[in-house]
Amino acid sequence: MKTTARIFGALLTFSTAAAYGLDMSGAPPEKASPISDSSSQHAASVDGAQRSMAKLRANLIVAGIDPDSAQGKVLMRWLTKLAGDPGFQAALVRQSGGAEKFWSAPLSADDRLRMLQLLKDMSMDSQKDCHLPSMVGADFIAFARTSSPRVLEDVMETLEIAINSGKAEHPPEQYSVTELLDADAQLNATPPVEPGTHGYPPGACGVVAFSVDAITALPEPVRQRASFEFLRMMSGQKSAFDRVLDDPSAYLDDAFDERQLPETLRRHLPADGSRALPYARLTFEADWVNKKTPGDNAAFKNVFINRRNNGVIADVVTSKGWADFTLSYGLEILRTQVVSKGTDLTQRSTLEDEAAIHAADHEFVPGQNLDLVVPQPSEKGVKSRRCVIGETVPASTIFPSLTGTAIGLQCTDTMTHGKNASWHSVWLTDYNMAWTQSIDDEDGRTEAVIRNVTIERAPQ
């Protein structure tokens, strides 16, 4: 994203310069005098246009660009065209003053895809690994001097799309954070381009071109959302996952509330107030510790929320650049999602089998096997989860301030691809929730070491 933003920086600088009278065309063609003779009007108009063209050529020469060179011809054609557009200068003034403001005019979905194809074309032609020089002041001309005619043509066409969209006043598109995260997650699921892949240049340019192809290949409406989010990020605005990571609690309340579940699931949940618990919020502060990969050790916080005393618990695990959201009833997960700045981002998945809610109401018998339904879609193709009930110990052995008992659980996910993951948890009876003590996967064993537990009591 950062490399593509440099390309769009060139567009922004040109638009800013043009808006404040620094554009190479100078003044627009002079208006004809209000005389009655139509031939005189035509002659005056032609004379004004010729003077403007001559001034533009002279300015290009002063800037070190031969107006008859390939780059010069591109600039002459485009600047003449734009200078003759009566709405162009006004549109530039409205959109100048910063990347966010410049790109604030909504683009149609078709215009976004056209822009992305132009961006890909620039990337495929770049000789600088997509690292354009910083655009300061009127340095658009410095950029134009060193760009190929192909890239310069693409830049000018992209600028025209942005300006025309600003004039067209497309109605703004509205997407929820969840919809944009879903699009990002589906895009993330595309395997990354390998260095040296045929048809893509090396380095950042290849990544940009591949990203455009990946977006274009997505089905609708995901493609429309992904292109919307892609251009938002290139303009310097915060991505959906950044906004979620800035305030995970807000996303937990918005997207992981049982009242937002499909009616087919909601109708099977207990009534509010029917499953009273002694807390409103339970916070674990802990550390992940892996002896095999100590570089992955990290502090994290896990917050469990009892909103309505109906047996449904919402929880979020947060660590640097990462958050894991879950809504559960008993051992059955109703909804889950991982939000990350990296490739761990997943689509929000929801339980599809309503019968699984009734199955979640059961006694824990040592040695018993429980087969649980997994919400879909699952990142690694997990379709089933089996848990074996273990022995019961005092909850205070897990952490001194916890009350009640802790029932051991050994659970395993069967993966469609990759190594099966298993973890050891305990079911804390007084709190109606499970705490995971260790995970065994392709990275070895990761243990959760509790540092502190804070219990916020439910209001009386």
- Give which of 416, 427, 424, 415 is closest to 445, Cα–Cα: 424
User: 64 lies in a domain?
Assistant: no
Kindly state whether residues 208 and 286 are assigned to the same domain: no
User: 283 lies in a domain?
Assistant: yes
User: 28 lies in a domain?
Assistant: no
- Give which of 335, 331, 272 is closest to 307, Cα–Cα: 272
Give the whole-angstrom CA distance, residue 2 versus residue 9.
Answer: 11
| pLDDT value for 344 | 86
| pLDDT value for 40 | 47
**Residue type at position 151:** V
**Residue type at position 11:** L
Q: How many structural domains is the chain composed of?
A: 2
* Residue range(s) defining the domain that contains residue 406: 268-457
- 88 with 23: CB under 8 angstroms? no
User: 22 lies in a domain?
Assistant: no
Enter the DSSP assignment of 284. E
| pLDDT value for 298 | 96
Kindly state whether residues 278 and 231 are assigned to the same domain: no
User: 8 lies in a domain?
Assistant: no
Kindly state whether residues 218 and 315 are assigned to the same domain: no
User: 80 lies in a domain?
Assistant: no
Kindly state whether residues 117 and 212 are assigned to the same domain: yes
- Cβ-based neighbour number of residue 266 at 10 Å: 15
Kindly state whether residues 424 and 280 are assigned to the same domain: yes
| pLDDT value for 392 | 97
| pLDDT value for 27 | 41
Kindly state whether residues 233 and 322 are assigned to the same domain: no
User: 244 lies in a domain?
Assistant: no
Q: Tell me which of 222, 237, 252 is where a domain ends.
A: 237
Kindly state whether residues 202 and 332 are assigned to the same domain: no
Kindly state whether residues 410 and 370 are assigned to the same domain: yes
| pLDDT value for 170 | 74
| pLDDT value for 99 | 52
Strand 405-414 versus strand 384-394 pairing type: antiparallel
Kindly state whether residues 175 and 320 are assigned to the same domain: no
The token pair at 342 is 């990296």
* Helix, strand or coil, per DSSP, at residue 219: coil
Q: Tell me which of 237, 258, 279 is where a domain ends.
A: 237
| pLDDT value for 41 | 45
User: 177 lies in a domain?
Assistant: yes
Kindly state whether residues 398 and 452 are assigned to the same domain: yes
- Cβ-based neighbour number of residue 154 at 10 Å: 24
Q: Which helix (H) or strand (E) holds 455?
A: strand 444-456
Kindly state whether residues 282 and 206 are assigned to the same domain: no
Give the whole-angstrom CA distance, residue 422 versus residue 400.
Answer: 26
* Helix, strand or coil, per DSSP, at residue 155: helix
Which residues of the chain carry a pLDDT beneath 70?
A: 1-50, 86-105, 126-140, 166, 417-418, 460
| pLDDT value for 321 | 92
Kindly state whether residues 197 and 285 are assigned to the same domain: no
